[in-house]
Amino acid sequence: MSEKPIAAIILAAGESARMGAPKQLLNWNGRPLIVHMVEMTWNVGLTPVVVVLGAHSDQILPALAGLPVQIVQNYRWQEGMSASLNVGLAALPPDVAAALILPVDQPLLTPGHLRGLMAQWRQTHGIVVSGAPGERRGTPAVFSREFFPELASLSGDMGGRALFDRYAPQLNYTPVPNAEVFTDIDTPEVYTQLREAAGTARPPSLSAIRGVICDMDGVLWRGNTPLPGLHEFFTWMHARNLKYVLVTNNSSRTPQMYVEKLAGMGITTTPEHVLTSSQGAADYLITVQPPDAAVYAIGGTGVMDALRARGFQVLTDDATDQADYVVVGWDQQFSWRKLATATRLIRAGAQFIATNPDRTYPTEEGLVPGNGAQVAALEVATGQAPVMIGKPEPVLYEQALTRMGTTPETTLVIGDRLDTDILGGIRLGMSSALVLSGVSDAETLRASPIRPDRVFANLLELVQVWQEDTL
């Protein structure tokens, strides 16, 4: 289930002598170039993201404050790229299976190309370079851990190219979308050219979208109040014959409860259009285990109903001493007794599955502990991390794609949370639209490394833009 991590090493130690100013800080889409590169690598799921700084690091460091990166210093940056590679590799934790290496100044790289390199490496291992045999090849490139010692022993400005030559017959290639991907910023003229080229790259037209994955709370309604555009949105989806799934991390309710809530707002839909993290957990279990498996479950109606509906033997007795799985969803009757039982079962070999990672849950009395808090207690007690079903992990979105029969390229994700809804969509290569009618506001967006393709005030504005896009 969980794939071995691929790290990113962003080489950003150079002096930019011909630019006259640190190129790491050049403006790219309204933010420093180095921030743009960090966001892109982190958004596609590379982890950890290691940034190697050298020249001008005192000026560059403040731009990286608060970003999810590990920063290392190459004090010998004048010796060339190899010294930076060495420092970057030394910073990687032992569980990293491979490293994607890229220079900070190839701004026309796309998330799709990075994902292509990652997918190819997962199939072939070894070394994966950008380009094609007999044509231009170069960075970014992915190296398996077995090559790290050789990479670290290179010297001067040779970088990974020396290994490309040494292992030429065994190289694997991922084609680049266009040759400009290889262009690095060396002079002010090149910088201007690349900015012009990037200006023409706009998000793909919404007219190509065939399926919609839409979050509910903060998008369709807030509390019991429908949000602007709710009716227009459903009318538009019917008129365009779009497939859709309403996806929520909330594990406590059943799909029927959401259908009824929508009916109360004048919207007709069916339970097949609703996917909760409880159902996601039950559907995931079906794929790995026959339905008669014994499951100790913590959670409310949503969790219990979903598991029983798929034929699982659901155990809730605290004296339970054998189970194949422990499924943990949000439970307002969570107790020390349940925690103890789940701990015992997981320690005895049951697989640990959690519906969703949300740490808190908003109520009238303020934020109260969410399922993530329960899961954290179990993680500490068992020393194990769960298989996580909810967003931003891919399980729920993959299930929604299967239901609709659409591909990531023709699917739009709509949500109000950057760190779950939008990040999950970006990781799977789907178009994403953030609505500012829920949790994330313009300030959250500015401060976040997660970049949705589009931002709207609410669903109403989204529908209006979509209609214009399709005319």
The footprint of Mg ion (CB under 5 A) covers 215, 217-218, 416, 438
Assess contact for 296 and 338: CB atoms under 8 A: no
Cα–Cα distance measured from residue 232 to residue 459, given in angstroms and rounded to the nearest whole number: 8
Cα–Cα distance measured from residue 105 to residue 94, given in angstroms and rounded to the nearest whole number: 28
Q: Shortest distance, CB of residue 438 to Mg ion, whole angstroms?
A: 5
Q: Shortest distance, CB of residue 231 to Mg ion, whole angstroms?
A: 19
Cα–Cα distance measured from residue 328 to residue 386, given in angstroms and rounded to the nearest whole number: 9
> Which backbone phi and psi does 231 adopt, to 5 degrees?
-70, -45
Q: Shortest distance, CB of residue 298 to Mg ion, whole angstroms?
A: 23
User: Positive or negative, the Cα torsion across 294, 300, 305, 307?
Assistant: negative
Of 174 and 437, the one with the shorter C-beta distance to Mg ion is 437
Cβ-based neighbour number of residue 402 at 10 Å: 11
| Annotated catalytic residue 184 | no
Cα–Cα distance measured from residue 331 to residue 375, given in angstroms and rounded to the nearest whole number: 11
Cα–Cα distance measured from residue 278 to residue 250, given in angstroms and rounded to the nearest whole number: 8
Residues sharing a CB contact under 8 Å with residue 272, sequence separation 6 or more, in sequence order: 255, 403
Of 182 and 361, the one with the shorter C-beta distance to Mg ion is 361
| Annotated catalytic residue 217 | yes
Farthest CA pair distance, the chain: 72
Of 247 and 428, the one with the shorter C-beta distance to Mg ion is 247
Of 283 and 416, the one with the shorter C-beta distance to Mg ion is 416
Radius of gyration of the chain (CA): 24
Of 22 and 218, the one with the shorter C-beta distance to Mg ion is 218
Q: Shortest distance, CB of residue 391 to Mg ion, whole angstroms?
A: 9
Q: Shortest distance, CB of residue 216 to Mg ion, whole angstroms?
A: 7
Cβ-based neighbour number of residue 133 at 10 Å: 11
Of 35 and 418, the one with the shorter C-beta distance to Mg ion is 418
Q: Which of 95, 157, 217, 305 is catalytic?
A: 217
Six-digit token pair at 350?
């049951």
Assess contact for 421 and 438: CB atoms under 8 A: no
Q: Which residue is nearest to Mg ion (CB)?
A: 218
Return the H-helix or E-strand segment holding 365.
none
Q: Shortest distance, CB of residue 422 to Mg ion, whole angstroms?
A: 11
Q: Which of 95, 186, 215, 419 is catalytic?
A: 215
Instruction: Give the residue numbers annotated as catalytic, written as ranges.
Output: 215, 217
